[in-house]
């Protein structure tokens, strides 16, 4: 197996990597391998039937991405946050209404 050295790594990035590795119960080295494997998958012949499928909702899109990156060790919390962000981007009017409702209920 090959090995690499990454120089000039930002301390903040290193700290986030360390924290994520701890959440996933593995070493920083293993976490980096997982991230690289998820980011650079082996090339697979495209399936024409799947290529024509389009996500119907933000949730469909988020779950598709989750399935793609499952090996990176994403947590349910990561996925929930991603789904919420996608839904807010796709439907900003719902998001702003939710914030108004939240502020009204605190009165």
* pLDDT per residue as tens, the chain (107 positions): 889 898 998 999 999 999 999 999 999 999 998 888 888 877 766 666 555 566 567 777 766 766 776 656 667 777 677 777 777 887 777 765 455 455 555 55
Burial class (CB in 10 A: 0-12, 13-18, 19+), 33: middle
The terminus-to-terminus CA distance of the chain in angstroms comes to: 61
Structure tokens at 44: 């697979």
Query: Which of 95, 93, 99, 65 is CA-nearest to residue 79?
Result: 65
């Amino acid at each position: 197996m090959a090995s690499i050295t990454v120089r000039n790594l930002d301390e903040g990035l290193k700290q986030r990597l360390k924290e994520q590795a701890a959440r996933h119960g593995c070493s920083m080295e293993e976490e980096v391998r997982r991230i690289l494997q998820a980011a650079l998958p082996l090339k697979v012949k495209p399936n024409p039937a799947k290529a024509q499928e389009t996500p119907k909702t933000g949730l469909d899109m988020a779950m598709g991405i989750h399935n793609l990156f499952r090996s990176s060790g994403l947590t349910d919390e990561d996925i929930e946050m991603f789904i919420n962000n996608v839904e807010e981007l796709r439907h900003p009017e719902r998001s702003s209404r939710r914030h108004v409702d939240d502020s009204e209920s605190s009165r």
